[in-house]
Copies of this chain bind each other. A is one copy, B any other.
Amino acid sequence: MELAPLGPVAFLDTAGIDDQSNLGEQRTAKTLEALASSDIVLVVAPPGQWGLFEQQIADKARAQNTPVIPVVTKIDLQPADPDWLNRIEAECGTKALAVSCAQAASDHAVREQFLNRLASALLAVCPESLLSPPPLLGDLISRAEKTATAPPVAVLVVPVDSGAPKGRLILPQVQAIRDALDSGIAACVVRECEYEGFLSSLSRAPDLVVCDSQVARFVAERTPSESALTTFSILFSRAKGDIVSMAAGAARIQSLKPENRVLVAEACTHHAMKDDIGTVKIPRWLRKAAGPGVRIDHARGRDYPDTLAEYALVIHCGSCTLTRREMLVRIQKAKEAGVPITNYGIAISALQGVAERMLEPFPEALSAWRTALAADKAQISERTISMEAP
């Protein structure tokens, strides 16, 4: 649901955690899972009905620093007692919202009024990063170019393959276009086969080119050196996670050995197509680069392994279905296990030999990539020396 100015808000309507049946246990597990990944928790209860279970949810949420808002329902049947209201507000640390769903369902004005109060309440407690996320690409074009008569031009190169959703674009592409518009940049979207021809329709080189990782080398070979160039994946590894760690992690690809194990982790359980990136393309390229013996495991959806130490590298998807918070938790897990982590896009740029060019717009990430590359090389030559020594 679009709730301005927050943007799209997903409401997970979970079961209460007071169900003692067998199915109830599964429901409770789902509820606690949702609790762990939520930015805000609404605890819904009719007047007077705030028991141990409601309290447990509120406590768990507050223990993980997630704001809790009590929502008092069915107020058309019975008003809420002020003392009771004070108590639950004190326990949650926020003001309660009161609503009669029966009235809201039949009266459009009541519904709108409640939605406005709900939006204000969510706004008051939500994390700052939801309100002002860093720009995706707007800051990559200098201010001087933005004040010229003609707007800056970004060319977005988007292959239309069997993995593209029918009749639409994938969300990261849409978000990049919107971010360009918000920054006063013209966003020109072309397929890779029209890219070169389109460049000749422009009166000057584009200020920025962003391409799908899969055509990284193709586009790099055709892009004027004065244009900044990067990939959608790299833009999103900055917006969604930690671009510096991801760039450093990609360096490990260059030193993978045939006996290594690699984890390819995907956040969602989409219906895989025949040319699927995670299960087909990346494994093929990895085996070509590091030898056919490399063992590749796959993790899908929520089942990200607890123990990562056995892996030489984690390659994660772009995490478009994860929140920034969830992705940072996954990066942290890899760091704790001492395992480099990167994402599909940076990995593919590395495998295509264009990681340097693609990371150029992000000096800190480029430097992390170079440092990690040098460290891995030093380690390899050290190992080679000690193996030769005896």
- Chain A residues in the interface with B (C-beta under 8 A): 1-8, 108, 112, 115, 133, 149-151, 153, 158, 160, 162, 164-169, 171, 174-175, 177-182, 184-191, 193-194, 197-198, 200-204, 269-273, 300
A367 to chain B, nearest CB (A): 29
Q: Is the CB of B166 within 8 A of A8?
A: yes
Instruction: Find out whether the CB atom of A194 lies under 8 angstroms from the CB atom of B2.
Output: no
Copies of this subunit: 2
Residues of B contacting A171 in the complex (Cβ-Cβ under 8 angstroms):
168
Q: Tell me which of A8, A108, A187 has the highest count of chain B C-beta atoms within 10 A of its own C-beta.
A: A187
A184's contact among B1, B4, B158, B193, by CB below 8 Å, is which?
Answer: B193
A168 to chain B, nearest CB (A): 5
Return chain B residues, CB-CB under 8 Å to A202.
201-203
Q: Given A108-B300, A153-B201, A187-B190, output 16 extra A-B contacts at Cβ < 8 Å.
A: A2-B165, A2-B270, A115-B271, A151-B190, A151-B194, A158-B181, A167-B179, A168-B175, A168-B178, A169-B178, A174-B174, A177-B177, A177-B189, A184-B191, A186-B198, A188-B189
B197 touches A150 (CB 8 A): yes
Contact B4 A273 (CB under 8 A): yes
> With a CB–CB cut-off of 8 A, which chain B residues contact A165?
2, 7-8
CA distance A191 to B4 in the complex (A): 20
Contact between B201 and A150 (Cβ–Cβ < 8 Å)?
yes
The answer, among B153, B168, B271, for a CB contact under 8 Å with A112, is B271
Bound complex: CA A189 to CA B175 (Å): 13
